[in-house]
Amino acid sequence: MNNVELKNFLDALPYPGLSRTLGELKLVDSTRIDETKATIVLSTVSDESYLSVKQAILNTLSNRFSTIDVQQKLAPAKDINYGSTATPNNRAPYAKNIIAVTSGKGGVGKSTLSVNIAVGLAQKGYKVGLLDADIYGPNTPRMLGIELERMRWNDENKIIPSENFGIKVMSVGLTTPAEDTPLVWRSSVAVSALIQFLEDVAWGNLDFMVIDMPPGTGDIQLTMAEELPITTAVMVTTPQTVATDDVSRAIRMYQDIHVPMAGIVENMSYFIAPDTLKRYDIFGVGGGALVAKKYGLKLLGEIPLTIDAREASDEGKPAIAMGSDVLKESYRKIVDEILKEKNIRI
């Protein structure tokens, strides 16, 4: 194997646990071969990701070289990579800021939080668009009470986004014949649909585009980071360990693809019984704070598990606008914390 073959081999190697290769994520910085020794320099950001990629390399190449020296290039200073993946496209030049709401895990409250962040920013007078990037489980139309609306076009052949609570919304849920039609698209079709939502929707000029990401760390998250200069990402978790494990994976991925993160929101933090007002820590205590500390991120806020939070999203009444005072306050604090993020331009 010569050096070019080694570089090509590494570029084609899958990143452990993701549907992308090291080459696609631009993680192989350089390679060198001296007789039977290979030196490989990785530009991974977190130590954990360096260790897992290194292990994958050693597993596949150990029989080819007598020594394999896998090194980690010093992490570049944060603002050199300001914005996103190395050189992301910008499919949404009309948006001043792009906020991605994400998590490695499903059902932790990403959509509920996205809706409330978007409405909260609109309440402050900003022009806000909400893009539902969950192609297979689009929930935002119901959470905003627009699930019966269907797509319309304007005279310039652009899709007219739906509007409610002062925000513009686009979701695949508005494109299907009925709100519960299941989609069985291949992932490449799903990705093209999202790009069309960025390019062919009459968003107008936006101060903020909030993106409600699907669960997981797959194609859609990576494509969004490649196609948009994400200003900042908000990671959602619940306190229990399985959820924090999944969110850790998502954090490492975002670090590696250079997406800045505003911090972590812990949702369903605790339950307050409506009758006795007693607090129950159903999912344990402090999971969000621990993850935040581990990765040097801010804990942006904690949202209690309440019956009215669930009812509010089922009934299309965002809690930040129509919920109890406790919920309004929890969401507003998060919106204020996001606005303090240094990358935000307003």
Chain residues binding Mg ion by CB under 5 A are 110-111, 134, 139
C-alpha to C-alpha distance for 122 and 130, rounded to whole angstroms: 11
The answer to whether residues 250 and 104 touch, using CB atoms and an 8 Å cutoff, is yes
Among 166, 159, 164, which Cα is nearest to 128's?
A: 166
Angle at the Cα of 230 (from 228 to 233), degrees rounded to 5? 140
Rounded to the nearest whole angstrom, what is the least distance from the CB of residue 106 to Mg ion in the complex? 8
Residue 107, contacted partner among Mg ion, ligand ATP, none, CB below 5-8 A by kind: ligand ATP
Binder among 49, 85, 116, 267 for ligand ATP (CB under 6 A): 267
Tokens for 323? 């919920």
Q: Strand, helix or coil at 154?
A: coil
Burial of residue 342 (number of CB atoms within 10 Å: 0-12, 13-18, 19+): exposed
Measured from the CB of residue 282, what is the shortest distance to ligand ATP in angstroms? 10
Options 42, 116, 134, 265; binder of ligand ATP; rule CB under 6 A: 134
Contact 250, 235 (CB under 8 A): yes
The interface region with ligand ATP, picked from 5-13, 192-200, 239-247, 299-307 by CB under 6 A, is 299-307
Query: Among candidates 135, 132, 226, which has minimal Cα distance to 189?
Result: 135
Residue 110 or residue 328: which is nearer to ligand ATP going by CB?
A: 110
**Residue 306 touches ligand ATP, criterion: CB under 6 A:** yes
CB of 230 or CB of 319, closer to ligand ATP: 319
Task: Output the six-digit token pair for 217.
Answer: 């760390």
Q: Which stretch binds ligand ATP (CB under 6 A): 120-128, 146-154, 244-252, 304-312?
A: 304-312
Residues of this chain, 308-327, that bind ligand ATP according to CB under 6 A: 309-310, 313
- Does 93 contact ligand ATP by CB under 6 A? no
Binding positions for ligand ATP, rule: CB under 6 A: 106-112, 134, 137, 139, 215, 267-268, 303, 305-306, 309-310, 313
